[in-house]
Amino acid sequence: MARRRFRPVLGPGLIIALALSVFLVWRRMQPPQVARPVIVQHEGAIAATGVPDPPFVLAQAEALKLAAEQRTEVKRLAEAYQKQTASQRKALDQAEQAARGKLSPASGKAPSPTDIQDASRGVAELSALLAEARVAAWPGLCEVLTAEQQEQAKQAWAEAHTLRLPKEKREGGG
């Protein structure tokens, strides 16, 4: 009696099952998709407000063409703002340094998305607190500045805090 060889039949059902199995295994092997947080210093933390803080307005006094009495009042507001936010700014600087240390390439391995989130959480929270303080200080500045000066200050703030790629990256060189 002749021995029959087993020949599997590759029908559409088997092909679909194999394809689905390969896809599920591939998906399981992929790292989780996590939004990439950006670690910023407090000078770069524009948040969603878009309003400048009093020290920034004071630094822009010449460009805004502030009168002497306006400068005096903005200086007073800037000093009060600096006192009010001193501990938050110090804590933010410390959180940023800690985050940079955790994410340093000196360790030789790339940080995981979870490491990045953990490192940036404190920075993000403190940046949000500073943004709230900036929003709270803005009405005081509005009482001092003209409508035109307010718009100029907002524009200068936005330009100063726009994230820009280095020239070589914009041109595709890096």
Q: Which of 153, 140, 137 is nearest to 66 (CA)?
A: 153
- pTM for the full predicted model: 0.61
Residue 174: inside a domain: no
Q: Would you call 126 exposed, middle or buried from its count of C-beta atoms within 10 A (0-12, 13-18, 19+)?
A: buried
Residue 145: inside a domain: yes
Q: Which residue has better confidence, 73 or 20? A: 73
Residue 86: inside a domain: yes
Contact between 89 and 73 under an 8 Å Cβ cutoff? The reply is: no
Q: What is the mean pLDDT of residues 114-118?
A: 77
Domain count, the chain: 1
Residue 173: inside a domain: no
Look at 46-50, 106-110, 120-124, 148-152 and tell me which has the smallest mean pLDDT.
46-50
Render the burial of 28-66: b for 16+ CB within 10 Å, e for the rest. eeeeeeeeebebbebeebbbeeebbbbbbbbbbeeebeb
Q: What is the CATH number of the domain that holds 109?
A: 1.20.120.1490
Q: What is the mean pLDDT of residues 18-27?
A: 82
Q: Which residue has better confidence, 13 or 130? A: 130
Residue 10: inside a domain: no
Residue 171: inside a domain: no
The pLDDT assigned to 39 comes to: 41
Q: 73 vs 55, 67, 156, CA distance in Å?
A: 12, 10, 20
Domain that holds residue 134: 50-163
Q: Which residue has better confidence, 10 or 145? A: 145
Q: What is the mean pLDDT of residues 117-142?
A: 86
Contact between 66 and 74 under an 8 Å Cβ cutoff? The reply is: yes
Q: State which of 21-35, 105-119, 128-142 shows the largest mean pLDDT.
A: 128-142
